Amino acid sequence: MSTGKAPGPDGFPAEFLKHFWSMLAPLFFRVVTEIKNKGHVGGHMNTANIKLLLKPDKNPILPSSYRPISLINTDLKIISKALTSRLEKVVQSIIHQDQTGFIKNRHSTDNVRRLFNVINMAQNSKKKTIILSLDAEKAFDRVNWSFLLTVLGKFGFGESFIQWISTLYNKPKASVTTNKITSQSFTLQRGTRQGCPLSPLLFAIFVEPLAAAVRQNSVIKGIHSSISEHKINLYADDILLYLEEPQSSLEEVFNLINSFSKLSDYSINWTKSSILPLTKNYWNPAHQNLQHPSTTNTIKYLGLNISPNLNELIKLNHDPMLDKVTEDLRRWNNLPISLLGRIASVKMKILPKINYLFSMIPLKPPKQWFQRLDSTTTKFYTRNKKPKISLSTLQKNKDEGGLEAPNFMHYYLANQVLYLTEWLNPKEYYNTWLEIEQLDCKHIKLSDLPFITATLKHHNCFKNPLIASTLTAWWKALDITNGQLKTSILSPIWHNPDFKNKKTPLYLKTWEESGITHLQDLFENDKIRSYNNLTQAFDINKSNFLQYLQVTETIKKTTPLDLTTLQPPELAIYMKKISTKSKKLSKIYRALSNTNCNYLPIAKWEAELSITPSTDFWAEICCNTFKMTKNTNLQLIQYKVLHRSHITQQKMHKMGFSATDICSQCTQNTADSYLHALWLCSPVQHFWILITEKLSSILDYRIPLSPNLCLIGDLTMLQPPANQSQSILAALAIAKKTILLNWKDKKSLNINQWQNLLTEFISMEKMSALRKQKKITCFEERWTPFLIALNLNF
């Protein structure tokens, strides 16, 4: 059971049951056994409490303005979750792939990609075609239980499972809380229970007979590809019908749904449903004065504005989203949030919305759109001030000197490359978007597209804007990761436009059937196979030597048959590796963002500190910034020091705001460089002496007076105990904070101010650690010497 959820009427959250499960389990199993034997959930266990949440921008006086949230008891959720885990094992085999909502390994992106492919296919057809978008009235609340149980039986579920569902829906009750006043409980009569883990899958089973009836009805004409018919898409209660011959098909759809409604109580609100014509010559039902859904130029589906012209998708979706993001960031701009907090805000509130569009709509927004988005977020990060650290640097990984601010272009590319992994490892082809795109590719397999060069631009597949967008994004991703779009051992031999013999791509059916499909099949032990070796390995006719010469010579015209030049890009190998893994989007994004470079001003630090460290040194320095504490204020101070982003007298002089670059806070008569300001200036140097002596006294071993340690956090010269390295770095970061607080009057620096800041910081660390016993142990190991030396007791 997931934690962090509101409890039901009994007040016991999942955390309570988890903590005391060893004691509660025997009692719980007795309760479950009794429920099974009696066929009824007793007491208040099957009672839910309904809370009302006001919908955004709605009239609070109207009941319809509130969204009911049903809270179910945790013990009942456990039973439902156990049944759900069993149902999940079979639901994919009984629910057609037309339906994707809440079913494992099926996603809403499949529905939308299929929708766009169907629109593109219809646009290239001269037939009258429409899309019918259905609006179900309170779909989850209108589920007839008797019909649901009958459907479960027809699908072949066992008597025991159906009995459990019947038990859970045997006189369930609910009460409503309004203004902290809870009503008397009342018995529910229909509908799947909100908040119950079973509800989404039960609804999918409930509505599947309607989808099956549409598919099997020969009067209802779907939009045809050369090998299949596309009729219906379902995501929970969002239903789209793809129809040819609209006049007869619509009438039959109305009759079918009315018949289904009489049996199941399922109801369609026809006034809110709509028809989207895909061709100009569509039949208009308004001409015959029939009761019908309204005809519209766009429809709303899964939060997207859909037009029959795919080129309008950016204007209908991305442009309004950018306006909304700009307005949100403008409103949030004056909030007292640090840079790290602002980046976190963009990641939590803005990125999911943008990512949703990127995942659903493959077409690339124009360059100006990304520029405006980057400009808007940059202004938010810097509070409308001139940035001291560039956005491109902030977007890098933390071990590269960045703060992992979202790179929206990389997220767009990652979302498109994600579709490419579906090409590499398709789940099923028939009647899906994969089937349509495969048909557009003709003889070339979808899984081979990433390994063919840009000659594909002249192939039929590139006429499909979805395939073209995915391939273009793939080529851009290769460029970003320093990969080269070239022929490799993963490239196909047959139907490949790179390998043409007399303007015709190579194809030998007998060779393909023998298993020779890709360039790697022509090699063995890093060498190209001889003719005899090839015939023996793949059992092909030995009289085909001329074909062998034809294949090898044709390929040699394009690329040398040498393994050293045929190695695929690292990104291509990585894509094949993760094509069957989970969390692919984040893995692809990291692959695009990982540059293996460091964006700190390394040259300046190394020159001033006279160091020539190893390649991993600066990555470790960057990581230490975020390991020393969870305190973002302290992290940011150290981060800005590493980037030398504070304004010195020398920098003021270069900018034309000061007549001299000489430090005015000491008598050394030297330029106020960054190292001088933070280390060499007389009052600052004295302050660091006091700090290192105090730390040596606290820890009972010598802390060297070194800018390598004190400024950039180089612990290699110190080698402290593992549990004290973070406390040392934090104490030194607080020392730098003290210097920055006295930046314009460094003569006021004193160790008492540092000690007060350190005490306050340790107090906050203690409060944070109190939430978990493990953290308390870690806190004590890290800070006990400081607590004793500073006589702290809190």
**What span, in angstroms and rounded, lies between the C-alpha atoms of 6 and 16?**
12
Residue whose C-alpha is closest to residue 789's, from 703, 695, 701: 695
Helix (H) or strand (E) holding 294: strand 294-295
As a whole number of angstroms, the distance between CA 639 and CA 507 comes to 58
Beta bridge partners of 241: 132, 232
Average pLDDT for 771-780:
79
Confidence band of 281 (pLDDT split at 50, 70, 90): low
pLDDT-based confidence at 431, cuts 50/70/90?
Answer: low
Averaged over 478-486, what is the pLDDT?
90
pLDDT at 2: 76
3-state secondary structure of 388: coil
Amino acid type, 116:
F
Closest among 174, 187, 161 to 80, alpha carbons compared: 161
Q: pLDDT tens for residues 720-737?
A: 887 889 999 999 999 999
Q: Are strands 304-306 and 500-501 parallel, antiparallel or unpaired?
A: unpaired
Residue 282 has a pLDDT of 62
More confident residue, 768 or 366: 366
Is 80 exceeded by the pLDDT of residue 202?
yes
pLDDT at 662 over 70: yes
Q: What is the pLDDT of residues 296-351, one digit of tens each?
A: 999 999 999 999 999 999 999 999 999 999 999 999 999 999 999 999 999 999 99
In our burial notation (b when 16+ CB lie closer than 10 A, e otherwise), range 26-58 reads eeeeebeeebeeeeebeeebbbbbbeeeeeeee
Closest CA to 418 of 359, 370, 491, 465: 359
User: Which tokens sit at 737?
Assistant: 């904070």
- In whole angstroms, give the CA distance from residue 221 to residue 275: 15
pLDDT, position 722: 78
User: Which of helix, strand or coil describes residue 159?
Assistant: helix
Give how far Cα 440 sits from Cα of 84, 121, 246, 500, Å: 39, 10, 25, 20
* Residue 289 predicted with pLDDT over 50: no
- 291: pLDDT confidence band, cut at 50, 70 and 90? low
Which whole number is the average pLDDT over 592-607?
89
The pLDDT value recorded for residue 272 is: 87
Q: Is 408:589 a contact under the CB 8 Å cutoff?
A: no
What digits encode the pLDDT tens for the residues 212-242? 999 999 999 999 988 889 999 999 999 999 9
pLDDT tens column, 563-574: 888 899 999 999
Q: Give the pLDDT mean for 411-422.
A: 94
The Cα 554–Cα 205 span in angstroms is: 54
Output the CA torsion 649→651→654→659 (10° steps): -10
Q: What is the pLDDT of residue 283?
A: 58
pLDDT band at 179 (very low <50, low <70, confident <90, very high): confident
Mean pLDDT of the chain: 90
Distance of CA 6 to the CA centre of its chain: 26
What radius of gyration do the chain's Cα atoms show? 33
Residue 613 has a CB neighbour count (10 Å cut-off) of 16
Confidence of residue 683 (pLDDT cuts 50, 70, 90): very high
Dump pLDDT digits (tens) for 442-477.
Answer: 999 999 999 999 899 999 999 999 999 999 999 999
Beta strands in 113-154 (DSSP E): 129-135
pLDDT at 389 over 80: yes
Number of Cβ within 10 Å of residue 189's Cβ equals: 10
Count of other CB atoms within 10 angstroms of residue 755: 16
Section 62-86 average pLDDT: 90
Q: Residue 54 belongs to what H/E stretch? A: strand 47-54
Q: What is the mean pLDDT of residues 589-615?
A: 90
Nearest to 569 by CA among 446, 410, 450, 457: 450
What percentage of the chain exceeds 90 in pLDDT? 63
Give the amino acid at 20.
F
For 302-315, write each residue's pLDDT tens digit.
999 999 999 999 99
Asked whether residue 84 carries a pLDDT value surpassing 80, the answer given is: yes
Asked if pLDDT for residue 290 goes beyond 60, the answer is no
Residue 575 CA, distance from chain mean position: 17
For the segment 703-711, the average pLDDT, to the nearest whole number, is 94
pLDDT for res 55:
86
Hey, CA dihedral for 670, 672, 675, 680, is it positive or negative? positive
The distance of Cα 494 from the centroid of its chain, to the nearest Å, equals 36
Is it the case that residue 794 has pLDDT exceeding 80? no
Mean pLDDT for 551-580 is 87
Distance between CA atoms of residues 627 and 636, nearest Å: 12
d(CA 321, CA 350) in angstroms, rounded, equals 10
Token pair listed for 654? 């270069």
Asked whether the predicted pLDDT for residue 436 surpasses 50, the reply is yes
H/E element holding 422? Answer: helix 408-424
